[in-house]
Amino acid sequence: MKRFYIGFLSSIFFAAIFLNCEHKDQNKIDLEVLITATGNVIYINGEVDPDKISSCGVAVPGTTSSTGTTGTTGTTGTTTTGSSGSSNNRYTVTSQLIMKTTAESMVLRFQFDSSQYQGSVDPQQGFSYSGGAFGKMVTGNVGKVEWGTSGIPVYPSGNGSAQQQTLQYMDIDISLSGKLLDSSSSTGILNQCYTSDNVNCTSVTTTQQCFTQDNKSCVSTASTPGSAVTITGNITCNAPNVIPSGGTTTQ
């Protein structure tokens, strides 16, 4: 068992090194914001400041999905029933990236499933880009986030149970519908707090977190007034100081 587990950890370690090299020095946001009414396009292009972020985001375990039952076989007088089990491959990913030089903040919250290549953006907090030199605020609460085969580094744990994981890198494409505000009351940089209802912050440690500006209530951009827009493009991040998440030792 120990020999197998060492091999398991080694495979995760070398896979993480390979993928980290593949995504090295990629810290940028490259988006197009199309204003539906006028057809005008706002380009959001810039470098993410690696000195202002501790990671590319956090993946928190979500709903458990069942792997099913192996079935039943037997002969007359003897029945053997296979075992059943479950695995958790669904997570809520939250990320906040700060732009270099101009200091805008991008926050993103979406559903991740390791068995899929894309997921939906969170309908309440979703996507926002504001603060700094931008002087406006763009939000997106409907649409999808695509990560392909290796865009989100969430690794299986050694004992099969899901764990919160800190993201070493991120390479995603977004396609969202949202709003554009001509001015931004947001400071751009947001905190995160624990929440049990995605509405209010709580001092109790829970499995859910949300972005907050006042440490009292969760920020919601779902009802933000403004001009209708579509947001498309690519977001990449690399945080080389993050140690890849993995398993825990079993005897």
The pLDDT of residue 150 is 82
Burial label for 100, CB within 10 Å (0-12, 13-18, 19+), is: middle
The more confident residue out of 45 and 214 is: 45
Within-domain flag for 211: no
Tens digits of residue pLDDT in 224-243: 778 999 999 999 999 988 87
In a domain, 188, yes or no: no
User: Cα–Cα distance between 205 and 65 in angstroms, integer?
Assistant: 24
Split into its structural domains, the chain has a count of: 1
Cα 178 to Cα 87: distance, rounded to the nearest angstrom: 34
pLDDT value at 8 more than 50: no
**How many other CB atoms are there within 10 angstroms of residue 129's CB atom?**
29
Joined tokens for residue 19: 């993928």
105, HSE (Cβ side, Cα atoms, 13 Å): 16
Residue ranges of the alpha helices (H) in the chain?
Answer: 2-22
**Is residue 39 over pLDDT 50?**
yes
Structural domain that includes position 39? 2-64+88-183+223-238
The per-residue pLDDT for 155 is 76
* pLDDT tens per residue, range 55-86: 999 998 875 444 444 444 444 444 443 444 44
Q: If you average pLDDT over residues 195-223, what whole number do you get?
A: 82
